[in-house]
A and B are shown apart, each in its own frame.
Chain A
Amino acid sequence: MNEWERLQQAALSGRATRREFLRGAAALGITTALTSGIMVKAGYADEPKKGGTLRLGMEGGSPSDSLDPRTYADSVMIAASLAVMNCLVEFDTAGNPTGELFESWDVKPGAAEWVFNVRQGIKFSNGKTLDAEDCIYSIQIHRGETKSPAKGILEQIKEIKALSPTQVGITLSSGNADFPVILGDYHIVVVPKDFTDWQKPIGTGAYTLESFEPGVRLVFKNRGDYWKPGRGNFDTIELRNIQDVAARTAALQSGEVDAVNRLDARTVNLLMKDPNLNVVRTKGTGNRFCFVTRVTDKPYDNKDLRTALKYGIDREKIIESVYNGYAVPGNDHNLDALNPFYNTEMPQRKYDPDKAAFYFKKSGLGNVAMELQTSEGAWGSAVDCASLYQQALKKAGINLDVKKVSADGYWDNVWLKVPFCAVYWGRRMSADQAFTQVFGEASDWNDTNWKVPEFQKLIKDARVETDQAKRKELYWKAQEMIADDGGFICFAITDYLDGYSKKVMGNQPHARYDLNDNRIAEKGWFA
Chain B
Amino acid sequence: MLRLILSRVALGLLTLLAVSVLIFVATEILPGDVASAVLGQGATPETLAVFRHELGLDRPAYIRYLEWLFNALRGDFGVALTNKRDIVTSISPKFDNTMFLAGYAALIAVPLAVGLGIVAAINDGKWIDRAANIVSLAAISFPEFFIAYVLILFLAVRSHLFPVLSTVFPDMSLGHRLYVVALPAVTLTMLVTAHMLRMTRSSVLSIMSQPYIEMAFLKGLKRSRVVFVHALPNAAAPIITVIALNLAYLIVGVVVIETVFVYPGIGQFMVDGVTKRDLPVVQACGLVFAGAFVILNTIADVLAILVNPRLRKAR
Query: Which residues of A are in contact with B by a Cβ distance under 8 Å?
Result: 57, 62-66, 68, 71, 73, 145-149, 151-152, 213-217, 240-244, 246-247, 250-251, 253-254, 256-257, 406, 408-409, 411-413, 415, 444-445
Contact = CB atoms under 8 A, between A and B. Distances in A.
Interface in B174-204: none
13 contacts: A64-B82, A68-B83, A71-B38, A147-B51, A246-B149, A247-B152, A247-B164, A253-B164, A257-B165, A408-B31, A408-B275, A411-B32, A411-B43
Contacts of B32: 408-409, 411-413
Nearest to A257: B165
Nearest 6 CB-CB pairings of A with B: A409-B31, A409-B32, A64-B82, A66-B83, A412-B32, A412-B36
Interface string B106-134: 00000000000000000000000000000
Nearest to B264: A216
A145 B50 CA distance: 7
A444 B32 CA distance: 18
B30 interface: yes
B40 interface: yes
Interface stretch (B153-161, B214-222, B225-233): B153-161
Given A71-B83, A147-B51, A149-B42, A213 B264 contact: yes
Contact of B152 (A65, A250, A408): A250
Nearest to A145: B50
Interface stretch (B60-68, B254-262, B291-299, B306-314): B254-262
Given A73-B40, A146-B50, A250-B152, A64 B278 contact: yes
Main secondary structure of the interface of A (DSSP, over half): loop
B135 interface: no
B249 interface: no
Given A146-B47, A408-B275, 8 more contacts: A66-B82, A66-B83, A251-B164, A251-B165, A256-B164, A257-B165, A409-B37, A413-B31
Contacts of A216: 167, 264
B90 to A, nearest CB: 7
A514 B90 CA distance: 30
A147 B54 contact: yes
B196 to A, nearest CB: 28
A411 B33 CA distance: 11
Contacts of A148: 47
B157 A244 contact: no
B163 A444 contact: no
B31 A412 contact: yes
Contacts of A146: 47, 50
A449 to B, nearest CB: 16
A215 B272 contact: yes
Given A64-B82, A251-B165, A415 B41 contact: yes
Contact of B30 (A151, A217, A254, A409): A409
A241 B51 CA distance: 26
Interface string B48-85: 00110010000000000000000000000000101111
B45 interface: yes
Contact of A64 (B39, B80, B163): B80
A2 B272 CA distance: 62
Contacts of B80: 64
A240 B80 CA distance: 22
A256 B264 CA distance: 17
Interface in B3-51: 30-32, 36-45, 47, 50-51
Contacts of B163: 254, 256
B169 interface: yes
A64 B42 contact: no
A254 B160 contact: yes
Contact of A254 (B40, B93, B164, B261): B164
Contacts of A65: 83
Contacts of A66: 82-85
A146 B49 CA distance: 10
Nearest to A443: B44
Contacts of A213: 93, 169, 264
A147 B50 contact: yes
Contacts of A253: 157, 164
B31 A215 contact: no
A71 B40 CA distance: 11
Nearest to B171: A211
Interface of B: 30-32, 36-45, 47, 50-51, 54, 80, 82-85, 90, 93, 149, 152-153, 156-157, 160, 163-165, 167, 169, 259-262, 264, 268-269, 272-273, 275-276, 278, 281
Given A62-B276, A250-B152, A444 B83 contact: no
A247 B31 contact: no
Contacts of A62: 272, 276
B85 to A, nearest CB: 7
Of B51, B164, B261, B278, which is in contact with the most chain A CB atoms at under 10 Å from its CB? Answer: B164
A1 B281 CA distance: 71
Given A64-B82, A244-B262, A250 B31 contact: no
B78 to A, nearest CB: 14
B47 A151 contact: yes
Contacts of B261: 247
Given A63-B272, A217-B167, A415-B41, A247 B260 contact: yes
A406 to B, nearest CB: 7
Contacts of B43: 411-412
A244 B271 CA distance: 14
Given A247-B262, A411-B36, A63 B51 contact: no
A70 to B, nearest CB: 10
A270 B167 CA distance: 26
A444 B44 contact: yes
A62 B272 CA distance: 7
A240 B262 contact: yes
A213 B275 CA distance: 19
Contacts of A64: 38, 80, 82-83, 272-273, 276, 278, 281
B218 to A, nearest CB: 59
A145 B54 CA distance: 10
Nearest to B85: A214
Contacts of B85: 66, 214
Nearest to A246: B149
Contact of B39 (A147, A251, A408): A147
A213 B170 CA distance: 11
Nearest to B39: A147
Contacts of A147: 39, 47, 50-51, 54
Nearest to B149: A246
Given A73-B42, A147-B39, A151-B47, A240 B167 contact: yes
A299 to B, nearest CB: 26
A247 B169 CA distance: 18
Contacts of B268: 63, 215
A379 to B, nearest CB: 11
B157 A250 contact: yes
Contacts of A145: 50
Nearest to B276: A64
